[in-house]
C-alpha cells in the first residue's frame, strides 16, 4: 500500500473512503467498542495527503496505513473501557506506542473489543457483543484481544495492537489465521496500557504477514523512561546470534523438567 501511495496509484482519501464503505456495509459490528467518526477519518486523510505534497513519505514508514487498538490502550480524548462501561475513563495522554504509530503516518480507526479487563482467552467475556471469528461464526474468536485479531483478519485494518499477558495476543491471532507478535518484555513501552499484570503485560501486534508485523514493531520498539520495564538495549547483539567453534548447552535437572 505504501508503494502505491508513493507511486500515486492510490490516495489516502481513496483508501479511507473504501474503508468507510466496508465499515458501513458490516453494520453494527461487535469487533469495535468505539470508532473514529467518518469526518475525523477524512480529516486525517486530508492532512496526510498534504504531507505527501509538502515533503513526501520517505520518513513515514506507516504512511496512510489504517490500524486499530485494543480498548485497554489509551487514546487521548477517547474513552478507555477495558470492556467494562462502569470502569470507563477518558485519558489526557495517548499511549506511547500509538503516538509512535501516528507519528509514522498511520491512520487510527478505533478501539476494538476484548475479554473484560483483558482476562480471558475466548473473546466472549464482554458486554459489547462477541466479535465474529473471521473464518467460522460457530467458533469463538479467541481472546483476550479478540477485536484486534478479527479486525485484521476481516480486512478492516492493515494491522492492530492488542496486549499479551498469557496468550491474549497469540491465541486470537491463531484462531483467526493472522500473525500475532508478542515482543520481548521491555522492548515496547507499556506506558498508556491499562494493566492486567504489570510484570507480564506486553503490547501485541496483529498483521496479515510477518513482514508487516516486523515493520510495525520497528516503529513502536524503543526505550521509554516512563515504563519501568523498558530496556535501553539493542534488540539483538550480533554476538548473541553467532557461534564460533564448540559451545555448551545447559539442561535443567530431570526433577525440574517435570510439570
Where do the domains of the chain lie? Answer: 2-243
Beta bridge partners of 180: 206
Active-site residue flag, 182 = no
pLDDT at 7: 87
Of 145, 148, 168, 189, which residue is the catalytic one? Answer: 168
Residue 77 grid coordinates: 480524548
- Distance (Å, rounded) from C-alpha 141 to C-alpha 154? 12
Give yes or no for a cis peptide into 98 (omega within 30° of 0).
no
pLDDT at 241: 53
Average pLDDT rounded to a whole number, residues 31-51: 98
Nine cell digits for residue 152? 485484521
pLDDT, tens only, 203-257: 999 999 999 999 999 999 999 999 999 988 665 555 555 566 777 888 888 888 8
Marked catalytic residue, from 111, 144, 146, 189: 144
Would residue 168 show up in a list of annotated catalytic residues for this protein? yes
Strands of 76-168, DSSP E: 107-112, 159-164
Q: pLDDT digits over 89-112, tens only? A: 999 999 999 999 999 999 999 999
Q: Which of 115, 198, 120, 216 is nearest to 159 (CA)?
A: 216
Per the CB < 8 A criterion, the answer to whether 146 and 153 are in contact is no
CA 153, 158, 164, 170 torsion-angle sign: positive
Q: Is the pLDDT of residue 259 over 90?
A: no
Fold exhibited by the domain 2-243: Amidase signature (AS) enzymes (3.90.1300)
CA separation for the pair 136, 118 (Å, rounded): 23
Q: Per-residue pLDDT tens for 53-84?
A: 999 999 999 999 999 999 999 999 999 999 99
φ/ψ of residue 35, rounded to 5? -125, 145
Amino acid at each position: 500500500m505504501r508503494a502505491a501511495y508513493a507511486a500515486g496509484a492510490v490516495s489516502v482519501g481513496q483508501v479511507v473512503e473504501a474503508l468507510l464503505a466496508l465499515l458501513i456495509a458490516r453494520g453494527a459490528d461487535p469487533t469495535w467498542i468505539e470508532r473514529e467518526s467518518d469526518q475525523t477519518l477524512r480529516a486525517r486523510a486530508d492532512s496526510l495527503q498534504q504531507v505527501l505534497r509538502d515533503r513526501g513519505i520517505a520518513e513515514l514508514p506507516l504512511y496512510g496505513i489504517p490500524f486499530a487498538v485494543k480498548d485497554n490502550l489509551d487514546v487521548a480524548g477517547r474513552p478507555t473501557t477495558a470492556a467494562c462501561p462502569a470502569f470507563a475513563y477518558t485519558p489526557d495522554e495517548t499511549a506511547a506506542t500509538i503516538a509512535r504509530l501516528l507519528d509514522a503516518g498511520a491512520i487510527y480507526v478505533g478501539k476494538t473489543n476484548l475479554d473484560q479487563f483483558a482476562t480471558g482467552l475466548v473473546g466472549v467475556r464482554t458486554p459489547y457483543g462477541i466479535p465474529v471469528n473471521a473464518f467460522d461464526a460457530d467458533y469463538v474468536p479467541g481472546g483476550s484481544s479478540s477485536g484486534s485479531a478479527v479486525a485484521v483478519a476481516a480486512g478492516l485494518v492493515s494491522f492492530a495492537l492488542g496486549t499479551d499477558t498469557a496468550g491474549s495476543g497469540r491465541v486470537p491471532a491463531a484462531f483467526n489465521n493472522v500473525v500475532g507478535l508478542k515482543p520481548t518484555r521491555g522492548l515496547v513501552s507499556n506506558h498508556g496500557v491499562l494493566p492486567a499484570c504489570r510484570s507480564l503485560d506486553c503490547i501485541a501486534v496483529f498483521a496479515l504477514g510477518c513482514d508487516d508485523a516486523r515493520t510495525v514493531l520497528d516503529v513502536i520498539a524503543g526505550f521509554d523512561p516512563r515504563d519501568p520495564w523498558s530496556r535501553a538495549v539493542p534488540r539483538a547483539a550480533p554476538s548473541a546470534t553467532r557461534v564460533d567453534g564448540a559451545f555448551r548447552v545447559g539442561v535443567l535437572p530431570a526433577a525440574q523438567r517435570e510439570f
